[in-house]
Amino acid sequence: MEVRDRYAPSPTGLQHIGGIRTALFNYLFARSQGGKFILRLEDTDRTRFDQAFVQNLYDTFDWLDLKWDEGPDIGGPAGPYIQSERLPLYRKYAEELLEKGEAYYCFCSSRRLEEVRKAREEAHSSGYDRRCRDIPAAEAARRAADGEPYTIRLKIPLGQSTRFTDRLLGDVEWKNDDVNPDPVLLKSDGFPTYHLANVVDDRLMGISHVLRAQEWLSSTPLHVILYRAFGWEPPEFCHLPMVMGQDGKKLSKRHGATSIDEFHRQGYLPQALLNYVALLGASYEEGKDIYTLEELARKFSLDKLNKASAVFDYKKLEWYNGQYIRMKTDEELAALALPYALEAGLFGQAGSEGSAEDRAAFTAAMPLIKERVSFLGEIPGKLGYLFKEPPVPAAAEFIPRKSDLTQTIKLLKTGRDIAVPLAGLNDTEAEALVKQRAETEGVKLGDLLMPLRVAVTGARVSPPLFGSIRLLGAERSLARIDAALGVLSKEQ
């Protein structure tokens, strides 16, 4: 049997980390089994549907570089893959259940249903009261044919239990009396509910495995009842562990970024996000943290899933992102960081693309920050001093610990003496020169470098000083040192 699984989102919101984890596990399982990964849009909730959310889905998967084998945009043998384009199918199968006595017409108005809901809530119960369940079939068919508004409801077998086996959770049994009482399958507007469309589509699309979050577990008995009502064999179910915040509650905005757009804006790399998310609730190889998507696909197994909820650790994800940043070449990293630089106005006003020289300098600066950033969005702020003249800091910023203003001016003048040769030396040569000069002057190496760093970069903490002087060049470096000496001399 060919493995066929799917990601079936409802386009009623932005793609978030939980949904992407479900999609990724389905993708990895299909790839690990040589099967097919399918995208289906479950767009029957027309009150919350927005085409912008459909575009967000495509943009998200394009950024993540996750590809499906069949879907709305590329087609396939089981299409269409958008539920709103399959409405006649759902009506056909709802009517089949009517004919088999597994479903019935319901003529209750929305007003009555609201009254029932309130009354049952007061009685600490919920769901429909099955008022229309026992209307004779001929009478119900006549009323429907006469144009009386109706829905079609599933007739849940009462006094029984529904059993199914979950690949992760084992045998599950649910009393039918605890299942949603006779849920609507086909709404009065002709649109199916999630339950009918989901089951029909999974059957017609040949879905062999349903991998979804454990929050959907309570709907599975209903789906199994539907499969049996049709006389179909259900697919194999695997309800994935939930993704929780570190407080033990379901991951949400209060914990931090959850939409993939937010992670993208903050400067996460898609490879880092996929690598980390793939480990949420699954294990692969002892002692190994970094995997390519291809490696994950080869090693993924349902047998390696964890029953316990997965905890989303933003610090751990940050670590992964830093690792992937450091694996990029200077050219690759510059290309990835460039949109953030343009947005920040690194080369002038926001959006300014800068000159060819600016871009070349930006690429050349990548070694200075590659080991010091965790997000692409941090890069422009750390390199601003290379492209715009920083203001000269207050005199106190230049003074090393246990030193004074007079000694600091002397140290900076010594730094000025060696700035020109430093601009033409590599790091090893520059370090040797500075150490030699510090010994000659009888000062600590750190004390010699502190005023020079502040003068050149505008801050006590900055990317490497020697590389900064090389990129700025002797002329610009000397100009900044002279400006700093002018401020210090006035202060003296």
Composition of the chain by helix, strand, coil, percent to 5: 50, 10, 35
CA R_g for the chain: 32
Q: Which helix (H) or strand (E) holds 237?
A: strand 236-240
Helix (H) or strand (E) holding 171: strand 170-175
Give which of 204, 271, 194 is closest to 232, Cα–Cα. 204
Q: Which of 92, 100, 118, 253 is catalytic?
A: 253
State the DSSP string of 393-459. Answer: PPGGGTPPTT--HHHHHHHHHHHHHHHHHHTTS-HHHHHHHHHHHHHHHT--HHHHHHHHHHHHHSS
* Residue closest to 21 by CA, chosen among 255, 177, 240: 240
The verdict on whether 304 is a catalytic residue reads no
What sign results for the dihedral spanned by CA atoms 262, 266, 268, 270?
positive
CA distance 117 to 328: 57
Burial call 308-317: b when 16+ CB within 10 Å, e when fewer: ebbbbeeeeb
- Number of helical (H) and strand (E) elements in the chain, helices listed first: 19, 11
Token pair 């009623």 in the structure block, residue: 12
Annotated catalytic sites, by residue? 253
